[in-house]
Amino acid sequence: MATEIEHKYIVSDESYLQGYSRKTYFRQGYLTTQPTCVVRVRIADNTAYLTIKGKNNGASRPEYEFEIDVDKAQAMLDNLCTTPIIEKTRYLYPYKGHTWEIDRFAGDNEGLVIAEIELNDENESYEQPPFIGKNVTGIARYYNSCLSEHPYSQWSDVEKEVK
């Protein structure tokens, strides 16, 4: 079983645009978003994946990912997934021994920018780049699966305030 360990942060400025190593455009949707299991279809540029994620336990959760045919993924996005479909550009930003993933959302989630770091161990130490803001790890409304059901454009001003 694979385990995903990640921390999520609000991005406080656009300085990541001056040091990223690669960017990828994503379209993704959700076939199910149950508390115990999330099933996602994703097209990343010209490659597609089906991903199954289990229930969170802190910053960790089981994850399984399989490459699938792009045309089948597109059909699932068009016909089976919850809308709105998540659209985002991911910037990879190397920083002091780790690679940060900065997701700049578009469409119904325009205006939201989140940075994530994936770790090998819950206790692994890391340094934060200067554009990292408030830690939102574990706050459900920042999960992509939640953004597909309650997009950022529908958040109240209170919800947009990070607490």
DSSP string, 101-156: EEEEEEGGGTT-EEEEEE-SSTT---PPPTTEEEE-TT-GGGSHHHHHHS-GGG--
Active site residue 30: yes
Q: What is the rounded distance in angstroms from the CA atom of residue 87 to the CA atom of residue 118?
A: 21
List 9, 20, 25, 30, catalytic entry = 30
Closest of 160, 149, 18, 37 to residue 93, by C-alpha: 18
Neighbour count for residue 128 (Cβ, 10 Å): 16
- Cite the active site residues: 30
